[in-house]
């Protein structure tokens, strides 16, 4: 049975009919076509699906969509301003922090939450902030560099 | 910049902007109109016969469009490995798309296509399978014993492959030795952990032609394997090249069950069918085979190796898949080739068990060998009081030596010693303390591991493809389209290949675009594997670019009234060498080539330029590289071992590598850093664990399978690139990727020994094993 879900995603209000077992990840990808949020594991362990719900980063695969009814959701598509990239997106490009890129969007969302609360994080704060986001290509070195670059630290 | 000066400069990935803003190009995002969703029913038993399958109830579920069981699919035994041709005489074809003999827990027995994933999933629960459980065997040594359950007909003692070789006279070599060392080294089963799950979308049209989208490392391999397993001509399959995929590392180097099943479901329903694996399904396929290695080495008192003998048993799991190839690469490149030693003998066993199937994984047999060989060298040096650096250099191959793989080739570029010495200096080798001498609870140590011989592709390997090709086409705006079958699996191939094309053409790298391709439109290309892309695909792209440039010069020579041989192209300008004032913009040459032959002018129609100048300027290539030059790698690790908790922390890594010529420094560092991450996980934490009673995988998710996060990774990773300028390589380049994964376990294990004075010869070096080694458990 489907129920009505109201979500504001990247500033745009959506009213959708979703089933009780639909995760936020499924709604974002399958209903709203927001492919930037990736499925890597479906068991809240890899971080590829990290998005913000009312400003807090969550694994979208671990959240039932109806449980965040009425919330404001930000995905990677909601970062930056028009053609202007978020400083983190820009820094990930410049630092060479992107390889296969499948983890990148979730990684940036976790880093964005960190910088919102801690504008000048040290290296340990950065590493712990992204410890819930797995990357298999980079060894995280250039990801940490990128976050430092975006923070100007 | 627009010429050879592009080589060695860090260049931004052309796909980075797309990836940081969402990344639409992954195969997981392919969505076709009318697409159905497939799911596989997998056996809970490790060894069983399917007596009967009843799908009638599932069939009646609304939304279910098709169900396949063994009787609905071709029963053509195949081998899924992309880089070996299916008709190869020695190939082990032992898999079926669906069969009635289950050999591992998780093997598919049926497939469903439905209008949604949820309905397909629900239908699986309605399929009734009657299994006859059979005795299973999970240990390869037990599988080789008399009376063990037999997995495949006609395969005595479950030995799928039993290669061996001998050089010189090992008995004489051991007799000559002053000391003989023996050890047993065991490695574990690990997964590549690409982040994008394996996925495919396959559409069978009314003419029976299949169009395939898939997350894989080889478009031509998938075309060939799929056609073979389905029993159809290759020309009935078109595999689209994805713009990029979410990682591979060898884990997408073979056809999965999902591709033939999606194809058949599509054929049956006349609708596109998508199958995306769950992470559990990813974990139970394409793993790095565990190898147990018995290794014996004879040395003289001065540290000269006189003989080496080894036996390796590889747990292949239920099918041979890559196991038959991995064992050879392991024996040759892991154990036999790296050091000068006239007397060597090796025997390998690829053994069937009821464990999950193996696969390709970066390093392909070398990490297992490197861990054993380098650990034993560390032990030899320790016992004989020799310096591990000097010992290795004494026994190492040298520039000018014949290539151990093919004596017709010479090691024309070989920087092993330089890598080792520069790395040693950077880590502070001279300050290394005696093993176990550091005081306190947390003990520090430094260790080294090396891999002296490795590949730049598969040139010279029996039954393995290596030829490759490209098409380079110039556009009116002065840009170049480069079409190749090479899939960028994340490693930055797309960047390095763009640089090579731009450097050869003499245009900016931003003017080069790696364009879409499919098996229909580009020449054959071997897979993205075996550290081959920069070298082999680089040579093909350079050759195609050179041909396009030759055409530019032919036209420009006429326009400039010069000899084509006297021309050069720099910064998109065609110039007469030595007379830069006599030049022509590349766009002008292309304009001449592309404009209509007759130009309508105010004075009436006039020929625009001679007809021989007309036609799109392009070049193509399809070639096999001339050689297979070896890179060389040395890694140094500094660790801290907590002797109370058993935890090992890697503090610092220095990785030195001879890659011939550095094309893209930022990209090369990324390969090293990511490679060390995988090697560190292999050394310390990663392990697929199985229930020994029923063969079920107990760590098939990222909660139980621990791979390094940003917290576990060392804060300092230093890359040193030794440039020896390989004469056969594009702009002097050879390979990088796989050695970065191969050497860390050996270096970290040696560092742990140096810290605590006790040697651990089984991976991963978990806290439990450390405490056990210290006698605390």
What sign results for the dihedral spanned by CA atoms B589, B591, B597, B599? Answer: negative
Same domain, A102 and A41: no
Q: Residue A133's domain is classified under what CATH number?
A: 1.10.150.120
- Cα distance between residue B519 and residue B222, in whole Å: 10
Contacts by A119-122 with C-beta closer than 8 Å and gap 24+? A119/A151, A120/A151, A120/A152, A120/A153, A121/A147, A121/A151, A121/A153, A122/A153
* Overall CATH class of domain B396-456+629-777: alpha beta
Residue B306, preceding peptide bond in cis (omega within 30° of 0): no
Q: Identify all chain A residues contacting B662, using CB atoms and an 8 Å cutoff.
A: none
Can you give the C-alpha Rg of chain A in angstroms?
15
Residue ranges of the alpha helices (H) in B179-312?
219-230, 258-269, 279-283
Same domain, A40 and A94: no
* CATH 3.30.365.10 domain residues, chain B: 396-456+629-777, 467-623
Same domain, A123 and A147: yes
Whose CA is closest to B136, among B315, B325, B355? B355
Would you state the pLDDT for residue B133?
98
B607 pLDDT band, cuts 50/70/90, is confident
* Average confidence (pLDDT) over B519-542: 98
| Interchain proximity A102–B195, CB inside 8 Å | yes
Q: Is residue A47 part of a domain?
A: yes
Would you state the pLDDT for residue B3?
80
Same domain, A56 and A98: no
Q: Residue A63's domain is classified under what CATH number?
A: 3.10.20.30
Q: Identify all chain A residues contacting B191, using CB atoms and an 8 Å cutoff.
A: none
Last residue of a domain, one of A57, A76, A95: A76
B331-343 pLDDT per residue, tens: 999 999 999 999 9
B370-386 pLDDT per residue, tens: 999 999 999 999 999 99
Would you state the pLDDT for residue A82?
83
| Interchain proximity B21–A89, CB inside 8 Å | yes
A79-137 pLDDT per residue, tens: 999 889 999 999 999 999 999 999 999 999 999 999 999 999 999 999 999 999 999 99
ipTM metric: 0.98
- Cα distance between residue B285 and residue B304, in whole Å: 42
Of A35, A43, A93, the CB nearest to B20: A93
Same domain, A127 and A70: no
A14-26 pLDDT per residue, tens: 999 999 999 999 9
Report how many domains make up chain A.
Answer: 2
Q: Does A62 touch chain B (CB under 8 A)?
A: no
B97-126 pLDDT per residue, tens: 999 999 999 999 999 999 999 999 999 999
Same domain, A144 and A107: yes
- The Cβ-side half-sphere exposure at B30, using a 13 Å CA radius, reads 29
* Average confidence (pLDDT) over B606-635: 95
| Interchain proximity A141–B673, CB inside 8 Å | yes
CATH topology of domain B467-623: Aldehyde Oxidoreductase; domain 4 (3.30.365)
Same domain, A9 and A42: yes
| Element counts in chain A: helices (H) and strands (E) | 5, 5
Tokens 């006790």 correspond to: B758
Mean pLDDT of chain B: 97
B571-598 pLDDT per residue, tens: 999 999 999 889 999 999 999 999 999 9
* Average confidence (pLDDT) over B89-102: 94
Q: Is residue A6 part of a domain?
A: yes
* CATH 3.90.1170.50 domain residues, chain B: 31-134+195-247+252-283
Same domain, A65 and A101: no
Same domain, A58 and A116: no
Would you state the pLDDT for residue A123?
98
The residue ranges of DSSP E strands in B273-361, in sequence order, are 273-276, 287-288, 291-299, 305-317, 344-352
B709-739 pLDDT per residue, tens: 999 999 999 999 999 999 999 999 999 999 9
Q: What's the token pair of residue B55?
A: 């799908």
- Cα distance between residue B455 and residue B631, in whole Å: 7
Would you state the pLDDT for residue B757?
97
pLDDT at B1 over 70: no
Size of interface A-B (CB pairs under 8 A): 178
Last residue of a domain, one of A52, A76, A100: A76
What b-and-e string marks burial along B163-202, b requiring 16 or more CB atoms within 10 Å of the CB? beeeeeebeebbebbeeebebebebbbbbbbbbbbbbbbb
Closest residue in chain A to residue B705, using alpha carbons only:
A45
Q: B551: alpha, beta or left, given left = phi > 0 and alpha = psi -120 to 50?
A: alpha
Same domain, A49 and A70: yes
Would you state the pLDDT for residue A1?
82
Same domain, A103 and A141: yes
Same domain, A25 and A55: yes
Q: What's the token pair of residue B185?
A: 């080294």
Domain housing A106 = 87-151
pLDDT > 70 in chain B, percent:
100
Q: Does A46 touch chain B (CB under 8 A)?
A: yes
Asked if residue B102 lies in contact with residue B45, where contact means CB atoms within 8 angstroms, the answer is: yes
Can you give the C-alpha Rg of chain B in angstroms?
28
Coil, helix or strand for B714?
coil
- Cα distance between residue A56 and residue B311, in whole Å: 55
pLDDT at A30 over 80: yes
Q: Is residue A25 part of a domain?
A: yes
Closest residue in chain A to residue B715, using alpha carbons only:
A141
CB atoms closer than 10 angstroms to residue B351: 29
Would you state the pLDDT for residue B245?
98
pLDDT at B88 over 90: no
CATH topology of domain B31-134+195-247+252-283: Aldehyde Oxidoreductase; domain 3 (3.90.1170)
Coil, helix or strand for B620?
strand
């Amino acid at each position: 049975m489907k129920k009505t879900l109201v979500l504001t995603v990247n500033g745009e209000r959506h009213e959708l009919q979703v089933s009780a077992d639909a995760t936020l990840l499924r709604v974002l990808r399958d209903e709203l076509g927001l492919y930037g949020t990736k499925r890597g594991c479906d068991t809240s362990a890899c971080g590829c699906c990290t998005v913000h719900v009312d400003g807090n980063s969550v694994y979208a695969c671990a959240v039932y969509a109806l449980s965040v009814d009425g919330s404001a959701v930000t995905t990677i598509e909601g970062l930056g301003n028009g053609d202007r990239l978020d400083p983190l997106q820009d820094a990930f490009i410049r630092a060479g922090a992107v390889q296969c890129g499948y983890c990148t969007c979730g990684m940036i969302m976790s880093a964005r939450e960190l910088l919102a609360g801690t504008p000048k994080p040290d290296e340990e704060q950065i590493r712990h902030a992204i410890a819930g986001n797995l990357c298999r290509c980079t060894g995280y070195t250039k990801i940490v560099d990128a976050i430092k670059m975006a923070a100007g630290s | 910049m627009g010429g050879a000066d592009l080589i060695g400069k860090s260049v931004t990935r052309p796909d980075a902007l797309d990836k940081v803003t969402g990344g639409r190009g992954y195969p997981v995002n392919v969505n076709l109109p009318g697409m159905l969703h497939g799911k596989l029913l997998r056996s809970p038993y490790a060894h069983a016969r399917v007596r009967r399958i009843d799908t009638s109830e599932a069939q009646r579920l609304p939304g279910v469009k098709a169900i396949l069981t063994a009787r609905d699919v071709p029963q053509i035994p195949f081998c899924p490995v992309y880089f070996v041709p299916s008709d190869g005489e020695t190939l082990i074809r032992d898999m079926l798309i669906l069969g009635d003999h289950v050999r591992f827990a998780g093997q598919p027995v049926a497939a469903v296509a439905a209008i949604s994933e949820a309905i397909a999933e629900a239908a699986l629960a309605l399929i009734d399978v009657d299994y006859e459980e059979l005795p299973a065997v999970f240990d390869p040594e037990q599988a080789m014993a008399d009376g063990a359950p037999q997995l495949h007909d006609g395969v005595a003692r479950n030995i799928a492959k039993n290669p061996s070789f001998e050089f010189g006279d090992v008995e004489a070599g051991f007799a000559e030795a002053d000391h003989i060392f023996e050890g047993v080294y065991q490695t574990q089963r690990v997964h590549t952990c690409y982040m994008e799950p394996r996925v495919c979308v396959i559409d069978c049209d009314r003419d029976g032609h299949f169009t395939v989208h898939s997350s894989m490392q080889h478009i031509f391999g998938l075309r060939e394997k799929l056609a073979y397993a389905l029993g159809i001509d290759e020309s009935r399959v078109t595999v689209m090249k994805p713009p990029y995929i979410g990682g591979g590392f060898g884990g997408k180097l073979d056809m999965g069950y999902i591709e033939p099943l999606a194809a058949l479901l599509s054929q049956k329903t006349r609708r596109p069918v998508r199958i995306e694996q769950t992470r559990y399904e990813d974990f139970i396929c394409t793993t790095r085979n565990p190898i147990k290695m018995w290794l014996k080495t004879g040395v003289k008192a001065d540290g000269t190796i006189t003989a080496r003998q080894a036996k390796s048993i590889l747990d292949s799991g239920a099918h041979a898949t890559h196991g038959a190839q991995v064992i050879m690469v392991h024996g040759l490149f892991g154990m036999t080739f790296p050091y000068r030693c006239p007397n060597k003998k090796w025997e390998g066993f690829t053994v069937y068990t009821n464990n999950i199937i193996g696969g390709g994984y970066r390093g392909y047999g070398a990490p297992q060998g490197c861990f054993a060989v380098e650990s034993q060298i560390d032990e030899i040096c320790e016992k004989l009081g020799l310096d591990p650096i000097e010992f290795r250099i004494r026994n190492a191959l040298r520039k000018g030596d014949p290539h151990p793989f093919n004596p017709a080739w010479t090691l024309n570029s070989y920087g092993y010693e330089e890598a080792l010495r520069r790395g040693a200096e950077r880590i502070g080798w001279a300050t290394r303390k005696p093993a176990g001498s550091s005081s306190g609870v947390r003990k520090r140590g430094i260790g080294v591991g090396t891999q002296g011989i490795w590949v730049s592709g598969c040139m010279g390997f029996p039954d393995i493809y290596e030829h490759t090709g490209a098409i380079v086409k110039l556009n009116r705006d002065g840009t170049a389209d480069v079409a190749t079958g090479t899939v960028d699996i994340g490693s930055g191939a797309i960047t390095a290949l763009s640089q090579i094309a731009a450097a050869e053409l003499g245009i900016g790298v931003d003017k080069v675009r790696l364009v879409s391709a499919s098996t229909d439109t580009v020449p054959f290309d071997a897979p993205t594997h075996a550290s081959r892309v920069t070298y082999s695909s680089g040579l093909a792209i350079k050759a195609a670019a050179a041909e396009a440039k030759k055409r530019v010069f032919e036209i420009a020579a006429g326009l400039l009234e010069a000899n084509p041989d006297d021309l050069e192209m720099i910064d998109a300008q065609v110039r007469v060498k030595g007379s830069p004032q006599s030049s022509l913009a590349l766009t002008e040459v292309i304009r001449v080539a592309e404009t209509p032959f007759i130009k309508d002018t105010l004075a009436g129609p006039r020929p625009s330029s001679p007809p021989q100048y007309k036609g799109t300027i392009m070049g193509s290539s399809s070639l096999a590289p001339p050689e297979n030059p070896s890179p060389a790698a040395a890694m140094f690790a500094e660790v801290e071992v907590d002797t109370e908790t058993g935890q090992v922390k890697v503090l610092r890594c220095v990785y030195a590598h001879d890659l011939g010529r550095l094309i893209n420094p930022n990209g090369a560092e990324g390969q090293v850093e990511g490679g060390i991450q995988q090697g560190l996980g292999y050394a310390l934490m990663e392990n697929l664990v199985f229930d020994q009673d029923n063969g079920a995988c107990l760590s098939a998710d990222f909660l139980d399978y621990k791979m390094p996060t940003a917290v576990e990774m060392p804060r300092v990773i230093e890359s040193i690139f030794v440039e020896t300028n390989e004469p056969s390589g594009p702009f002097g380049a050879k390979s990088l990727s796989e050695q970065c994964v191969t050497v860390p376990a050996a270096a970290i294990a040696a560092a742990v020994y140096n810290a605590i004075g006790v040697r651990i010869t089984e991976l991963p070096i978990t806290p439990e094993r450390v405490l056990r080694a210290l006698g605390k458990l």
